[in-house]
Amino acid sequence: MQAAGLRELGWNDELTAAFAPFAAEGLVPGRVVAGLTRLLRVGTDDGETLAESSGGLRHQARGSGDLPGVGDWVALRPRAPGHRAVIQAILPRRTAFLRRAAGERAIAQVLAANVDTVFLVMGLDGDYSPRRIERALVLAWESGAAPVVLLNKADLCDDVAGRRAEIESVSPGVPVRVIAAKPGEGLEALSPWLVPGRTVALLGSSGVGKSTLVNRLLGRDKQKTRDVLEGDQRGRHTTTHRELILLPGGALLLDTPGLREIQLWSGGGGFDTAFEDVLAKAPLCRFRDCGHRGEPGCAVQAAVDAGEIDASRLESFHRLGAEVRSIEVREDPLKRREERSRWKAIHKSMRPKRAR
């Protein structure tokens, strides 16, 4: 990104106070503005510098989620010109946009840190999928940042109003905006979130038009764009790394590579917030431990039958809920023991009883 001082990168008095112990050690503050293959680009008051995590920081990390990511505020030990700076510590994150890293182990990967707003971008073409938005909203609410859904490519859709209404029905309490980034239509609706010093992350699958949107907001072509693939209308990965981009109005835009699949990560109330419309009915169920799978007196199922909740919405509730619980069980030893005990009791109850 273009050279910017700490204040332009979002530095404030709260961060100054948090950094005081590190300043006493002769370290300098900076913000990670780009993630490269093995190095990070960090912005400071003296300009940008390449940096790497210290050995101690890497040793203490349980996974990549404990290492610096784009958007993090860090404490640097500067080096002589031409040498890499060393990141000694990460300041506490206000928000952290995490997903489960690839592989069998339940390890968090940082997509973005210290983000104020997350623009969840989806195309109104072949990319359209309410189920993907539900999944992305769980991740967004977990982060602590405020989600906003952007429905892009309105110029290619014949039923914009209908699709917007459908997305609003699965995004309770979340602003939904319709834009067409390529012709530059509807972008003025984003101004409430693009204010100086605020960080906005873009998240969406490849081909939804994130790079085109970045170029429009910048007023110039910074990000390369490619046509979507024929047949499935999905694009190739144009953005290859995460980067903070300073917009003309002073907001910071964090662009991310397209995600083919969003692996959830647990650790907060993101799932409950994303499905608050379903959970609001649960206290009315006849049984306190109702699983909302056809039990007598299930208020959630009654809401589905009455058309208040779509049946596919309830299916997503069950599917994503099971995925979140699975991650929690793998991550938390106590929950693993509780889950084993629960299944042990279930299996025991299913055994045929011997006649006395």
Read off the pLDDT of residues 215-246 as tens digits, 9 standing for 90 and up.
999 987 765 555 544 444 444 445 457 889 99
Fold of 97-255: Rossmann fold (3.40.50)
Residue 246 has a pLDDT of: 94
Predicted TM-score (pTM) of this structure: 0.82
CATH number of the structural domain 275-350: 1.10.40.50
The helix (H) or strand (E) run that includes residue 20 is helix 13-23
- The CATH class, in words, for 13-92 is mainly beta
- State the span(s) of the chain assigned CATH 2.40.50.140: 13-92
- State the span(s) of the chain assigned CATH 1.10.40.50: 275-350
Residue 60 has a pLDDT of: 86
Q: Are 99 and 265 in contact (CB under 8 A)?
A: yes
What DSSP letter does each residue of 169-189 carry, written as one string?
Answer: HTSTT--EEE-BTTTTBSGGG
- State the span(s) of the chain assigned CATH 3.40.50.300: 97-255
| Beta-strand pair 96-100/73-77 | unpaired
| Residue with token string 């650790």 | 267
Burial of 345 (0-12, 13-18, 19+ CB in 10 A): exposed
pLDDT in tens, 298-328: 999 999 999 999 999 999 999 999 888 887 7
Percent of the chain past pLDDT 90, that is, above it, reads 62
CA separation (Å) from 341 to 103, 287, 349? 27, 22, 12
